[in-house]
Structure 1
């Protein structure tokens, strides 16, 4: 019985191994989208076992009181980046198309750097439609989420790679 348990555990272990970014160096990962005006600031240890960096918000179009915008985040622990995320805030949902396009373009630039392969068309389509999806890609996975704000006055679309 014990041997059977060990064999099952050995066979199952590779399935439990978590995917990771193709490059986990924080200094490198925080700069993945610098050429797209989404340069991450300095890697910071938050003092709670987590660390990360984030870009400034990049405004897309005009809007009062807030324009639609896009930001890039890197999360991890110690000196290792584990996940990257793009967040597009649709503060002006009726004029979100250019922001969604920039989100898709940024995700397309990020995927080869973060996961080692181009972004699949299925993910680009999910971004365009704001539909949730999780797809195994390269060394990890990409997840697209849409969160409609409780106020009903906007939403965000997140693209996470891990």
Structure 2
């Protein structure tokens, strides 16, 4: 009974949120950044908790000769057959080489904003991405949120750009 309620609630949310992402169909949403080397794999209808989604492989940004390279990935999440959020995640494994990674994140974010929300990424959001600072802004019919999470090890961090 609890699972049935969760699925019904998820579908209600998905129905209202799907107008915000131009391509709520999973096959389209997962392929929005395919030409940038960030094509989402096959859509998973249920991860076991009522959520669905797809993810790209990690794309290395820069060299990995001295450990892990900085890397970028693309994720789509939703419920059942509806994509509700698209997200870019940049892992700064080598913070001392952040400039090229940040440029890659910014370029992918601009392309994703145009394709997912139908509007250009505002300069104010681009500035948040460049600085790696938290912020949220209404963009077109959607919302773009930038979040930075410093790793407990102190050796790196990640910046997420989420659009819904």
User: Under a length normalisation based on structure 1, what TM-score does the superposition of the two structures give?
Assistant: 0.87
| CA positional deviation for 1:154 | 0.3
Which among 127, 134, 144 is matched to residue 136 of structure 2? 134
| CA positional deviation for 1:112 | 1.2
| CA positional deviation for 1:65 | 2.0
User: 1:145 aligns to what?
Assistant: 147
Asked if 1:59 corresponds to 2:60, the answer is: yes
CA distance in 2, matches of 1:31, 1:104: 18
Which among 105, 108, 133 is matched to residue 107 of structure 2? 105
**Preserved contact between residue 60 and residue 98 of structure 1 (Cα < 8 Å):** yes
CA distance in 2, matches of 1:139, 1:78: 22
User: 2:11 aligns to what?
Assistant: none
Cα RMSD of the aligned pairs, angstroms, is: 1.2
Structure 1: which 5+ residue stretches go unaligned?
1-16
CA distance in 1, matches of 2:113, 2:61: 21
| CA positional deviation for 1:62 | 1.2
> After TM superposition, what 4+ stretches of structure 1 lie above 3 angstroms from structure 2?
none
User: 2:116 aligns to what?
Assistant: 114
**Preserved contact between residue 72 and residue 85 of structure 1 (Cα < 8 Å):** yes
User: Under a length normalisation based on structure 2, what TM-score does the superposition of the two structures give?
Assistant: 0.86
Structure 2: which 5+ residue stretches go unaligned?
1-15
Question: Number of residues paired by the alignment?
Answer: 146
Q: What are the residue-to-residue correspondences of 1:13-92 with 2, within 5 Å?
A: 20-45=20-45, 46-63=47-64, 64-92=66-94
CA distance in 2, matches of 1:138, 1:29: 17
CA distance in 1, matches of 2:115, 2:61: 24
| Structure 1 residues 121-162: Cα deviation after superposition (integer angstroms, max 9, x where no partner) | 111111000111100001110000111101000000000000
| Structure 1 residues 65-87: Cα deviation after superposition (integer angstroms, max 9, x where no partner) | 21000000000010000001000
CA distance in 2, matches of 1:49, 1:32: 23
**Preserved contact between residue 22 and residue 139 of structure 1 (Cα < 8 Å):** no
**Preserved contact between residue 38 and residue 58 of structure 1 (Cα < 8 Å):** yes
